[in-house]
Amino acid sequence: MAVKKKTIFSWSSGKDSALAFYHLQKNNDFELSHLITTVNAHYDRVSMHGLRRELLEKQLASVGLPYSTIELPIAPSMSEYEDRMNTVLRQLKSKSHTHVAFGDIFLEDLRNYREQELAKQNLRAYFPLWNRDTTDLMHEFLSLGFKAIVVAINANLMDASFVGRVIDKQFLRDLPATVDPCGENGEFHTFCFDGPIFQYPIKFTLGDIVQKVYDNPDQDNNPDNAKKMAFLFCDLVP
């Protein structure tokens, strides 16, 4: 019998992670044994999504696997991010892990970056959803019984009414034609709170909606882009 590849999963708390995790569970070549998530230690929230740590912990408890958090400062540099990530990965590699899986779908630059960084530690990357049609993925996500809520949107690209909405078929119909159905270009981020990978649903209530404005990192490469990017975040309260 072939030895299964002992695999770490890079868990974002959102829908793509949940669906990629589901497919990896079904793949007999892999043994999913540990999850890792980046957390902004200053705000005590998941990086990018702004999800409270307490809800992340409840979600991971429902998944039922061991996990580690990558604790980041308020505004980490790339070197700080890589140093802290690599510290955790070295610890897990010493426990016979050989692969790290991600929910990325078609961001080629990001895939190349992940593969190059992991190769430095003799680890390999795996992408269960790679190059899948994102409309098909969203319909599969819903048909499997997963449930997710939008916790952040790029307000330059989407109307404020989308933040705090639970994803369903009507949500997909309402999306602007310029927005990827999975938000793969950073248009929106989600929190997955129920579905076949969970032992029980994660309960929460809707909190405040907050706007934050950031410099657009693509401004130098494309002067036609807006100089500022506005994001709306919906706080979820355990």
- Mean pLDDT, residues 10-23 taken together: 97
- Looking at residue 50, the DSSP 8-state letter turns out to be -
- Same domain, yes or no: 121 and 155: no
- The pLDDT, as a whole number, for residue 212 is 86
- Helix and strand numbers, DSSP H then E, in the chain: 6, 10
- Same domain, yes or no: 57 and 85: yes
What single letter denotes the amino acid at residue 199? Q
pLDDT digits (tens, 9 = 90+) for 137-194: 999 999 999 999 999 999 999 999 999 999 999 999 999 999 999 999 999 999 999 9
- The pLDDT, as a whole number, for residue 48 is 82
Q: What is the pTM of this model?
A: 0.92
The yes-or-no verdict on residue 37 having pLDDT over 70 is yes
**What range defines the domain where residue 40 resides?**
5-126
Cα–Cα distance, 150 to 232 (Å, whole number): 10
The DSSP annotation for 75-112 comes to S--HHHHHHHHHHHHHHHHTTT--EEE----S-HHHHH
pLDDT digits (tens, 9 = 90+) for 154-166: 999 999 999 999 9
- Same domain, yes or no: 171 and 74: no
- Looking at residue 160, the DSSP 8-state letter turns out to be G
- Mean pLDDT, residues 117-130 taken together: 96
- Same domain, yes or no: 188 and 75: no
- Same domain, yes or no: 165 and 96: no
- Same domain, yes or no: 110 and 14: yes
Q: How confident is the model at residue 227 (pLDDT cuts 50, 70, 90)?
A: low
- The pLDDT, as a whole number, for residue 214 is 76
Percent of the chain topping pLDDT 90:
89
Please give the tally of structural domains in the chain: 2
- Same domain, yes or no: 103 and 216: no
The yes-or-no verdict on residue 219 having pLDDT over 70 is no
- Same domain, yes or no: 12 and 92: yes
Cα–Cα distance, 225 to 184 (Å, whole number): 18
- Looking at residue 171, the DSSP 8-state letter turns out to be H
Looking at 109, 126, 143, which one is the last position of a domain?
126
- Same domain, yes or no: 97 and 149: no
- Same domain, yes or no: 187 and 80: no
- Same domain, yes or no: 141 and 88: no
- Same domain, yes or no: 101 and 192: no
Looking at 96, 126, 156, which one is the last position of a domain?
126
For helices 108-119 and 78-93, give the axis angle rounded to 10 degrees. Answer: 50
- Mean pLDDT, residues 82-108 taken together: 96
Looking at 76, 108, 126, which one is the last position of a domain?
126
Instruction: Report the chain's mean pLDDT, rounded to a whole number.
Output: 93
Cα–Cα distance, 100 to 227 (Å, whole number): 35
Cα–Cα distance, 30 to 77 (Å, whole number): 33
What single letter denotes the amino acid at residue 148? A
